[in-house]
Amino acid sequence: MEEKRIIVSMNKLRPLPLDRLTQKFIDKFWNRVNKTNTCWLWQGTISIAKGYAIISFVGTVWYASRFAYYFRHRVDPYPLLTLHTCDNRICVNPTHLFLGTEGDNTNDMVNKGRAKGPDKGTKPSNTILDEYLVSHIKWYLSQGYQQRPLAKFFGVSQTCITDLNRGKTWKGIVARDPKI
């Protein structure tokens, strides 16, 4: 199944509409999952803004990990976040998911060495990109994609892509194939 990416606003946590859950939706959900020996990779839509697995249900876009957590534990994650032990944003393996607050998420990031401070010189302070998206942009550049269409697709200036390509910003981020 081809990966789909859309821009979506996901700034509000809310309870899952469990009273509207149907077997048809559950089947649709699991049909979009590629179960590997470790992560269960989401093959459906992925948000371009943050790179997380998402799914539409009853007219609203949801993080797929929230449903995966519910299907395994029979507990609505609300009002907590679903965090990943594997740090793979498209993983929906319920054994890789745990609940936590924004603070727990930040502590997890810091404890795993994923926090990037301004002293690292990698991330411009006014950016809309993150390391996940930058790794994909670098891969596209390495494959000969032109800067202008990439800038338009990712919603940034061509200067942003040029600076990234020249190593002026986002130093140390490795190119990563978006299909993996």
Beta strands in 2-133 (DSSP E): 4-6, 33-35, 40-42, 45-47, 54-57, 60-63, 81-84, 97-100
Whether 55 and 143 share a structural domain: no
Residues with Cβ < 8 Å from 178, sequence gap 6 or more? 3, 136, 139, 140
Residue 25 or residue 169, greater confidence: 25
Counting the structural domains of the chain, the total is: 2
Residue 175 has pLDDT above 90, yes or no: no
Of 64, 77, 72, 127, which Cα lies nearest the Cα of 104?
Answer: 77
pTM of the model: 0.62
Identify the pLDDT of residue 90: 93
Percentage of the chain exceeding pLDDT 70:
86
- Residue-wise pLDDT tens digits, 106-163: 888 888 877 665 444 455 556 678 888 888 889 889 888 888 888 887 778 888 889 8
Whether 106 and 137 share a structural domain: no
Domain that holds residue 85: 4-111
Whether 37 and 64 share a structural domain: yes
Identify the pLDDT of residue 121: 43
Identify the pLDDT of residue 130: 82
Identify the pLDDT of residue 174: 86
Whether 56 and 88 share a structural domain: yes
Sign of CA dihedral 139, 144, 150, 153: negative
- Residue-wise pLDDT tens digits, 75-110: 999 999 999 999 899 999 999 999 998 888 888 888
Whether 60 and 123 share a structural domain: no
